[in-house]
């Protein structure tokens, strides 16, 4: 998912350089949404891992 966010970021930068502001804004928005979804999934999996490890070690 982070690769897809990076892809949209690169598309946004290239579109911005060539003056396509609409495409640039849409790509930047998608990159931001995908990035925050990936961070949220990472935090949830990290918390699940921590709680599971504590229950297994006790």
36-48 per-position pLDDT tens digit: 999 999 999 999 9
Q: State if pTM tops 0.75.
A: yes
**pLDDT classification of 57: cutoffs 50, 70, 90:** confident
pLDDT beyond 90 at 53: no
Mean pLDDT of the chain: 92
Cα-Cα-Cα-Cα torsion 12, 15, 19, 21, nearest 10 degrees, comes to -40
Q: How far is CA 37 from CA 1, 17, 18, 40, 56, in A?
A: 8, 27, 29, 5, 28
pLDDT of residue 58: 63
């Amino acid at each position: 998912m982070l690769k897809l966010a990076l892809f949209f970021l690169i598309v946004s930068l290239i579109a911005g350089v060539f003056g396509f502001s609409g495409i640039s804004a849409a790509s930047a928005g998608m990159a931001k949404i995908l990035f925050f979804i990936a961070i949220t999934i990472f935090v949830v999996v990290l918390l699940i891992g921590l709680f599971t490890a504590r229950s297994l070690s006790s």
